[in-house]
A and B are shown apart, each in its own frame.
Chain A
Amino acid sequence: MTGATLPHDTAPRLRTLGQDLLGLALIALAGLAGYALFPDNLAFLTRVVSVALLVLSLDLIVGYCGIASLGQGALYGTGAYAAGIACLHGVTEPFLLILIGAAAGAVMGLLMGAVMLRAHGLPQLVLSIAIVQLLHEAANKASSITGGSDGLSGMVPAPLFGVFEFDLWGRSAYFFGLALLILVFAALRFIVRSPFGMVCRGLKEDPLRISALGIRAFPVLLKMFAISGAVAGMGGALAAIATQVVGLDSVSFEISANALVMLVLGGIGHLYGALIGTVIFMALEHVVAAINPFHWMTLVGAVLIAIVLFAPRGLSGTLDEAARLLTRSRWRAGR
């Protein structure tokens, strides 16, 4: 975590609340700026929001519990397929679909947690990969339900509030997604600061000490897996609603690995990092792929290596550092 350099003993609660409100306002502002500046890119921006939910959910597990996972796509894909299948079977209300995605993701999170928490370290990582691969294969085999390699398509979500349709231009999908992201982000800030969130962090830093306090790790971590699953599931459901297609890639190792890359890029262990990493990574990929559709992967790889070499703590960590240096010098000048 970032160092405790600044004292803040007076009304810390009020202060963190103010900071959170500021953060949320900035996210909303960034979202609106995205709309105003790129009204023709809303489909892409909606995808960014959807993946941001996935990366946020991964941060809960990796950043707050210290559990490495390369299988987060399992939760995201479960949400996407659950929402997609429900939509094809007549449940077209978008809010309900998001809830269905969240519920399905949470259930899968419980299952995944129950399996993964049996192991530690590398075996745990291997288990996460195995789970996402298994689910991928299951989705492929059950083609009568999931559409297999052909993908699940043909769902038509009902208009938002009965008015705003999910159309080609993607305005309703974007604002729907943005609102969802802000709500989820606010809830997560609350959760990670709650006593439960503190215990999770404690388990990451010093599991022995936490167990000495008489707290059992397993139920706590399992709960975090369920929350993470719900968040990832909502991301998947949002993707299903916005694109009206669910493909096997949503439950793939590739998307899981990409999510981890985005998280590391943005900075592990504070939720803002997840957002920054997602936006930077996807914008980079998007722009480079459009400029040179033939060699873009090479370019993206090179940039990633550069970022990891020069900003090993992730972009948000580096920004933190810069901010601290700036405020410090300002502070000194002020005295």
Chain B
Amino acid sequence: MKKTSFGRFVRAGALALAGVCGLGGSAFADTIKVGIIGPFSGPFALQGKNFQAGAEAWLAQNGKTVAGHDIELVYRDLPTANPQQARALAQELIVRDKVQYLGGVYFTPDAMAITPLLKQGNVPLVIFNAATSAIMTSSPLAVRTSFTLSQTTTPLGKAAVERGVKKFVSVVTDYGPGVDAEAAFKKAITAAGGEVVESIRMPLNTTEFSPIMQRVRDAGAEGVFAFLPSGPPTLGFVKAFSDTGLKKAGVKLFAPGDLTQESDLPALGEAADGLITSFHYAVSHDSEINKRFVAAADKAIGAPDLLSFPAVGAYDGMFVIAKMIAATGGKQDAEKAVEAVKGLAWESPRGPVKIDPETRHITQTIYLREVAKDAQGRWINKEIASVPDQKDSGLTK
């Protein structure tokens, strides 16, 4: 060997030093920390920005103090679905940053990786997005303020058949929420008198959709039901649906609102015109409280075009967390905190909502919407019908 032992020494010393540099943490007196995990960089960064905008809109409207306790948000970036990293981040937020509450979480696999930690850490998780029904059964300390695919998809069955479209191909992303969406749609369309002739499941990282569109064409379906996680995949999918001529050929696309989120509409333009979706929230929802929310969230996000549904999940999530803080008097007691919000009902920007005491999931109105232009010529999801008081139907077989 040709190295000096001194060289070794220097190198190993550097190793120790590298471990030292910059790690560390501290806690403050009577500041309650809320850890928010979301995709703040990478392809889904816009969804994470919406988390941030929603949470900050709530703080801007209600102040940063709840019952005498300051709230501090600690953001952690999880760019794509990555359960292992999600767990590491949550663990670190609990152990090192000493957060009392966890919030956020965009993808289902990440939520599933975090829930086993909650009991040991004595920390409730308020899910701002991740939408698979089964997450709620994995921990009694999880509360959700977004939606489930089962919840948003179910009204589509009747809506499709009413519009004379009965023969469907279902196209979903092959992971938790996709499977939920497929099952819910099959159930709903069969109940309404239609049928699904072919079910396609795509890998989560699919970016090229023309082969899928070809299969839809070959199946000779009248309609396509589709679910993908909102972000670059949905933009690509809706574009491909239009570009490959399926839309022109008269095939109808029915989907939960993930596919026509407001931040994608300017880019989609004509390609999305007339698409029927069902969802829990449209940025254009006509209510006083929503106008105030949109104004505050627009300010937080910087550019109004970027605002989309994850923001409302985060906004209501902050409301729930604030209620938890008030109910526990700022003390760390996850069980008491969750107990306190069971049955909690309030007026959200999306309409009247309630935390179902059994599932800890949000009960809400689901709207049927059509992509159209508003008076100012901007593309919006125009609400055309509403189904009030929808619980999550994904767990009842």
Contact = CB atoms under 8 A, between A and B. Distances in A.
A282 B14 CA distance: 14
Interface residues of B, number: 58
A134 interface: no
A283 B174 CA distance: 34
Contact of A283 (B23, B41, B76, B92): B23
Interface residues of A, number: 77
A206 interface: no
A37 B22 CA distance: 11
A296 B77 contact: yes
B84 A319 contact: no
B28 interface: no
A148 B239 CA distance: 27
Contact of B8 (A6, A19, A140, A154): A19
Contacts of A150: 83, 108-109, 112, 175-176
Contact of B77 (A26, A247, A293): A293
Contact of B175 (A41, A149, A283, A319): A149
Candidate in A12, A290, A324 with the most chain B CB atoms within 10 angstroms:
A290
B21 A283 contact: yes
Interface stretch (B113-121, B149-157, B216-224, B384-392): B113-121
A128 interface: no
Contacts of B86: 245
Given A37-B19, A45-B19, A168-B91, A19 B83 contact: no
Interface string A229-263: 00000000001000111110110000000000000
Interface in A181-230: 193
A18 B317 CA distance: 59
Interface in A15-34: 15-16, 18-19, 22-23, 26-27, 29-30, 33-34
A113 interface: no
A4 interface: yes
Interface string B368-388: 000000000000000000000
A82 interface: no
A212 B285 CA distance: 79
Interface in B154-198: 173-176
B204 A2 contact: no
Interface string B70-93: 000001110001111111100110
Given A26-B8, A276-B15, A286 B1 contact: no
A55 to B, nearest CB: 13
B112 A153 contact: yes
A19 B1 contact: yes
Taking each of A43, A270, A322, which has the highest tally of chain B beta carbons within 10 Å of its own beta carbon?
A43
Contacts of A151: 83-84, 109, 112-113
A33 B16 contact: yes
- Binding site secondary structure of chain B: helix
B29 interface: no
A326 interface: yes
| Max chain A C-beta neighbours (<10 A), residue from B1, B2, B109, B112 | B1
Contacts of B25: 40-41
A2 B12 contact: no
Interface of A is mostly: helix
Find the residue from B109, B117, B174 having the highest chain A CB count within 10 A.
B109
A315 interface: yes
Contact of B3 (A19, A243, A247, A293): A19
A163 interface: no
Contacts of B175: 148-150
Contacts of A143: 174
Nearest to B98: A40
A145 to B, nearest CB: 14
B18 interface: yes
A226 B333 CA distance: 50
A119 interface: no
Interface of B: 1-16, 18-25, 40-42, 45, 75-77, 81-88, 91-92, 94-96, 108-109, 112-113, 116-117, 120-121, 173-176, 203-204
Given A40-B25, A43-B88, A43-B95, 11 more contacts: A2-B2, A12-B1, A29-B16, A37-B23, A40-B92, A40-B95, A137-B203, A153-B116, A283-B22, A287-B23, A293-B75
14 contacts: A3-B2, A48-B19, A149-B174, A150-B109, A150-B112, A168-B94, A283-B22, A289-B77, A294-B75, A296-B77, A319-B10, A319-B11, A322-B10, A327-B7
